Amino acid sequence: MSDYEDGMDVDAPVDLEDNAVTFSSKQSSGKRSAANLPVEAEDTLPWVEKYRPDTLDDVSGHQDIIATINRFVETNRLPHLLLYGPPGTGKTSTVLALARRIYGAQNMRQMVLELNASDDRGIDVVREQIKTFASTRQIFSSAPEAGGAKSMATYKLIILDEADAMTSTAQMALRRIMEKYTANTRFCIIANYTHKLSPALLSRCTRFRFSPLKEADIRVLVDRVVEEETVNITAEATEALTKLSKGDMRRALNVLQACHASSTPLHIKGQPIPKESDIIRDKITTTTIYECIASPEPADISLIVDTLLKTSDVSSCLSLLNTLKANKGLALADIIASIAEELTKLETPAQTMVTWMDGLA
């Protein structure tokens, strides 16, 4: 049996009056208030979780996808969903916000089964846990919609995060369950790569691709976190952070939190703990961001490119590369990728550019 059913054969009644979906009063803030954590516990949360959106309207970017999913819910015609794309683009946040909209924070426990990459999702899990959860129906459900339509709140929701890590045997068993229990269960499958999923699963889902977020979308949330957490950061460092995140919101927030923590002075043993407002933190600069990500700084890359273009002495270029690797702990692959990006900014004949890129590759 699933953890959400507490060993019971039937689900507990879902208290939905007139199909109204209720939300906690704190959800409008956009923070993860559904956990009802005390202030001390919430302050220790990773910022990725603390600022995870509670509603679909709070999800950054992909407004066309959000509008389509909202329409599915409003018309009670939610199909099986497949959300795929690179990490940190809002796939899991979108599904959790969708579940919160349909069931409300109080009813998610008995109506939603979530399995992620840390769970065992072999054939036994599909046959036992997923099948058992999908096969049980609600005895008490909300009143039907006008015209006898079934409310979305009466369906169960199974979220399979990182589904591309499932074994092929488990995927084959899952497709039959999706067909058999469509009357009372909906599946939300989340994956990074669709080529690792079986064609049978793909054909049973409505697919949405989550592309890397735009820098403007990442900047909006980063600026909000900087303001609410009183992060001492320069405008140039914020710009570098949004650029280096490469469309990954999770990476941007993790790097920002790491830099914020490193800028906080250590507490001296035996001294009284200062108030948050009295702590003087170091300024987070562009150098701080690049060092945290272990990425070469633009000034270093410009120096390498200028050396390559102005001299035919290969040994001096190699010496410069080795110095950067030794002093800053940079990876050669990152340096070469940055050099290639810098070279593409130059105005050169196409054939010359092809020769350069081929040599770097």
Q: Enter the pTM of the model.
A: 0.77
pLDDT for position 139: 57
pLDDT for position 274: 64
Q: Which helix H or strand E contains 259, and what residues bound it?
A: helix 249-262
pLDDT band at 95 (very low <50, low <70, confident <90, very high): very high
Determine the average pLDDT of the residues in 175-199: 91
pLDDT over 70 (residue 263): yes
Q: CA 121, CA 112: separation in Å to the nearest integer? A: 16
- One-letter amino acid for residue 109 of the chain: R
User: Contact, 161 vs 115, CB < 8 A?
Assistant: yes
**Stronger pLDDT, 39 or 187, i.e. the higher one:** 187
pLDDT band at 278 (very low <50, low <70, confident <90, very high): low
Inter-CA distances, 303 with 153, 271, 324, 352, Å: 60, 46, 11, 20
Chain position carrying tokens 């800053």 = 328
pLDDT band at 336 (very low <50, low <70, confident <90, very high): confident
Residue 74: other Cβ atoms inside 10 A = 10
Q: Which of 10-14, 209-213, 230-234, 318-322 has the highest mean pLDDT?
A: 209-213
- Enumerate domains of the chain plus CATH numbers: 3-209 (3.40.50.300), 213-268+276-293 (1.10.8.60), 296-361 (no CATH)
pLDDT band at 223 (very low <50, low <70, confident <90, very high): very high
**Among residues 20, 71, 69, 103, which one has the least CA distance to residue 188?**
69
pLDDT for position 36: 43
pLDDT over 90 (residue 9): no
HSE-up of residue 67 (Cα within 13 Å, Cβ side) = 4
Mean pLDDT in the chain?
81
Q: CA 175, CA 166: separation in Å to the nearest integer? A: 13
pLDDT over 50 (residue 62): yes
HSE-up of residue 316 (Cα within 13 Å, Cβ side) = 11
Q: 185 - beta bridge partners?
A: 156
pLDDT over 80 (residue 157): yes
Q: Which pair of structure tokens corresponds to residue 119?
A: 């769970």
pLDDT over 90 (residue 214): yes
pLDDT band at 121 (very low <50, low <70, confident <90, very high): low
pLDDT over 70 (residue 66): yes
